[in-house]
């Protein structure tokens, strides 16, 4: 399976369709894709890191919590992320390190704001040759 992301057309909001070989790939691709909606991830350097540890009742809930948590760090600490290292993801539990740098108006352009990651039309499922996810962002 080739990892890939596509923008999902959705009235008034935006979203992603994601294909990956593993669930870990899906979580990483979704984070990168979400931030690509907000800014140019290629212009961010991994200068600072944050540890992330999350637990949920299901993999789908963990997926939404992961993205909402990263968006919260972006919104509250002005951190732009470019690197996502998942160390463990099992039994609805995730540990990771995310890396990036502080926003600088001289270096970074913000394209859009994501208010929240939603459960609307959410999909996270194992398919024949890997994993598939779909997520909608409230912009």
What's the mean pLDDT when you consider all of the chain?
Answer: 95
Task: Specify the pLDDT at position 9.
Answer: 75
Q: How confident is the model at residue 84 (pLDDT cuts 50, 70, 90)?
A: very high
Task: Specify the pLDDT at position 15.
Answer: 95
Task: Specify the pLDDT at position 39.
Answer: 97
pLDDT tens digits, one per residue of 1-53? 789 999 887 677 899 999 999 999 999 999 999 999 999 999 999 999 999 99
| C-alpha count within 13 angstroms, C-beta hemisphere, residue 33 | 26
Taking residues 75-97, what's their average pLDDT? 97
Task: Specify the pLDDT at position 2.
Answer: 86
Task: Specify the pLDDT at position 10.
Answer: 67
CATH number at residue 82: 3.55.10.10
Range of the domain at 95: 4-138
Cα first-last separation, the chain:
30
Count: domains in the chain: 1
Other C-beta atoms lying within 10 Å of the C-beta of residue 27 = 25
In which region does residue 85 sit, left (phi positive, over 0), alpha (psi from -120 to 50) or beta (all else)? beta
Taking residues 124-139, what's their average pLDDT? 96
Task: Specify the pLDDT at position 31.
Answer: 98
pLDDT tens digits, one per residue of 92-108? 999 999 999 999 999 99
Instruction: Kindly provide the b/e burial profile for residues 10-26, where b requires at least 16 CB atoms within 10 angstroms of the residue's own CB.
Output: eeebbbbebbbeebbbb
């Amino acid at each position: 399976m080739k990892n890939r992301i596509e923008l999902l057309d959705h009235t008034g909001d935006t979203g992603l369709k994601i294909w990956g070989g593993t669930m870990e790939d899906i979580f990483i691709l979704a984070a990168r894709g979400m931030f690509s909606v907000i800014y140019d991830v290629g212009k961010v350097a991994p200068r600072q890191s944050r540890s992330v540890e999350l637990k949920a009742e299901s993999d789908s809930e963990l997926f939404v919590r992961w993205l909402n948590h990263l968006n919260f760090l972006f919104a509250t600490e002005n951190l732009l992320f470019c690197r996502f290292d998942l160390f463990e993801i099992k039994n609805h539990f995730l540990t990771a390190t995310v890396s990036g740098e502080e926003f600088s108006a001289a270096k970074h352009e913000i394209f859009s704001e994501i208010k929240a990651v939603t459960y609307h039309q959410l999909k996270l499922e194992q398919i024949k040759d890997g994993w598939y996810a779909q997520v909608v962002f409230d912009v």
